[in-house]
Amino acid sequence: MNTPHMFRGSPVLLLLLLLSGVRIDGYRPVIIVHGILDGPKQFRTMSHYITKVHPGTEVSVIDLYDDLDSLSPLWNQVQDYSKAFDSIVQKAPDGVHLLCFSQGGLICRALLSMTPHHNVHTFVSLSSPQAGQYGDTDYLWIFPSLKKEMFRICYNAMGHNLSICDYWNDPHHRSCYLRNNNFLPILNGERPHIDMKAWRENFLRIKKLVLIGGPDDGVITPWQSSQFGFYDSNENIVEMRKQEFYKSDTFGLKALEDRGDVAVCVHSGVKHVQWHSNHTVFTSCIEKWLT
């Protein structure tokens, strides 16, 4: 009997593997949260890309608030997504990755902020209006050519019933936004609230934040919102590091970056609905983080 055979399938080998930190059960599960007016169907290509390069990965596209239901208020959605999320992570002691598209990126950020002791490793924010939305687009009929008037709908009681109002950020009506938008200013800590410190700590449990977006998106406006940039009152872009929520680090973004854990990936030539199906985007911005 020679030595290597002695270790085959033996508890000693298993112990060595465990001690060396190698996960013997493969890749961490990936949870996908879809965007506005879409659903699991739109993420078949992405799921296929993932399992092709990382065989055996368990990919779950949460099947909630699909299509028109995605217009429901975001806090309601967050509540239900939270239950689905919890039931998946309970079965994943080594942690999971979150890949969230468009509006889904805000749902995910809320989940990460509100869930104590979560075990999310990488949070991929795929063309998500992280700093808000202010723009007309031809793809979404629900953003008619009304951007100058949307604040009237969004920043009052009626607006609390429509998901897009939860991240509608009109740079010409900043005080209304801060006062009457009950979602994004809370998430950003732009309107102080009692849970801010805890939410920041929870958010900071992630190991990596990956921000993906680009100038030909056509829906996210300004497209820099996908990287936490946004308009000032003259509609000039203020980049992430000059944003007040960054400078005062209200929700952990600056701390994450100081830690070296914010990765930014900008691609031109990608329209909004193509981000999750573009193979170049997958190989250059996503694949390496999903281990």
Ligand X SMILES: *[C@@H]1O[C@H](CO)[C@@H](O)[C@H](O)[C@H]1NC(C)=O
By beta-carbon proximity to ligand X, the closer residue of 47 and 127 is: 127
Q: Any idea which residues carry the catalytic annotation?
A: 102, 217, 272
By beta-carbon proximity to ligand X, the closer residue of 26 and 269 is: 269
Query: Distance (Å, rounded) from C-alpha 130 to C-alpha 225?
Result: 6
By beta-carbon proximity to ligand X, the closer residue of 149 and 258 is: 149
Cis peptide before 222 (omega within 30 of 0): yes
- Contact call for residues 33 and 98 (beta carbons, < 8 A): yes
What are the CA-CA distances from residue 57 to residues 29, 42, 48, 175 (Å)?
6, 18, 10, 45
Minimum gap (Å) between residue 167 Cβ and ligand X: 18
Query: Distance (Å, rounded) from C-alpha 272 to C-alpha 193?
Result: 33
Residues ≥6 apart with Cβ < 8 Å to 143 = 133, 135, 136, 137, 150, 164
Binding mask 108-147 for ligand X (x = CB under 6 A): ----------------------------------------
Q: Does 14 bind ligand X (CB under 6 A)?
A: no
Total chain residues near ligand X (CB under 6 A): 10
Task: Match 């700590």 to its residue by tokens.
Answer: 201
What are the CA-CA distances from residue 211 to residues 3, 12, 16, 131 (Å)?
49, 42, 36, 12
Candidate residues 55, 157, 192, 194; the one interacting with ligand X per rule CB under 6 A: 157
Q: Counting beta carbons within 10 angstroms of the beta carbon of residue 192, is it exposed (0 to 12), middle (13 to 18) or buried (19 or more)?
A: exposed
Minimum gap (Å) between residue 77 Cβ and ligand X: 13
Minimum gap (Å) between residue 266 Cβ and ligand X: 9
Q: Does 212 bind ligand X (CB under 6 A)?
A: no
- Contact call for residues 256 and 207 (beta carbons, < 8 A): no
Binding mask 262-281 for ligand X (x = CB under 6 A): -----x-xx---x---x-xx
Q: Does 182 bind ligand X (CB under 6 A)?
A: no
Q: Does 68 bind ligand X (CB under 6 A)?
A: no
Candidate residues 10, 45, 161, 283; the one interacting with ligand X per rule CB under 6 A: 161
Binding mask 225-264 for ligand X (x = CB under 6 A): ----------------------------------------
Q: What value, to the nearest 5°, has the Cα angle with vertex 37 and ends 89 and 60?
A: 20
Minimum gap (Å) between residue 66 Cβ and ligand X: 17
By beta-carbon proximity to ligand X, the closer residue of 127 and 250 is: 127
Minimum gap (Å) between residue 74 Cβ and ligand X: 14
The neighbour count for residue 47, using CB atoms within 10 Å, is: 18
Q: Does 215 bind ligand X (CB under 6 A)?
A: no
- Contact call for residues 134 and 222 (beta carbons, < 8 A): yes
Residues ≥6 apart with Cβ < 8 Å to 83 = none
- Spell out where the chain has E strands: 30-33, 59-61, 96-101, 120-126, 208-213, 230-231, 237-238, 262-266
By beta-carbon proximity to ligand X, the closer residue of 26 and 215 is: 215
By beta-carbon proximity to ligand X, the closer residue of 85 and 289 is: 289
Candidate residues 158, 235, 259, 288; the one interacting with ligand X per rule CB under 6 A: 158
Interface with ligand X by CB under 6 A: which residues?
A: 157-158, 161, 267, 269-270, 274, 278, 280-281
